[in-house]
Amino acid sequence: TIRGRAHASAYGREIPDEQVKRALTVGSISLGMLFLVILFLTLSNTTFDFLSLIFESVSAFSTVGLTTGITPDLSEWGHVVLVVAMFVGRIGPFTLVIALAQNSETGRYRYAEEHVTIG
């Protein structure tokens, strides 16, 4: 970990490495999807302030229902992107967690372990 500990822990309990990896995967995929939503909204709606588009994207992806009031004025593609963001934001992370929670077949082989220099 960043603090130099061998295992992650919280509230006096150790968190298994598999759960840490799953959480990082869900977070990474969510950030990637959010980046794509912001990119598509920015490219399809050039007349709006960038921060307003970021706010709309994050609000749609996290399905909180907040808006800056520009949603009705977005392009048709902007509406489609927001609908997809709302759907993926609501269903995607939960579905991904469930899919990752299922035990997969153990591989028939493993690669050799290598220590790499970080930083």
Domains of the chain as residue ranges with CATH: 16-101 (1.10.287)
Structure tokens at 58: 């994050």
Asked if the model's pLDDT at residue 119 lies above 60, the reply is: no
Residue 40's alpha-carbon distances to 34, 49, 115, in angstroms, are 10, 14, 39
Residue 52's closest CA among 43, 44, 41, 64?
A: 41
Express each pLDDT in 92-114 by its tens digit.
776 766 776 766 566 677 888 87
Which helix (H) or strand (E) element contains residue 13? strand 13-15
pLDDT for 61: 93
Give the confidence band of 1 by pLDDT, cuts at 50, 70, 90: low
Q: Using pLDDT thresholds of 50, 70 and 90, give the confidence band for residue 118.
A: low
Tens digit of each residue's pLDDT (9 = 90 or more) over 38-59: 999 999 998 999 999 999 999 9
**Predicted confidence band of residue 20 (pLDDT cuts 50, 70, 90):** confident
Say how far apart CA 105 and CA 72 lie, in whole Å: 48
**Which of 51, 89, 97 lies closest to 70, judged by CA?**
51
- Tokens of residue 84, six digits: 């997809």
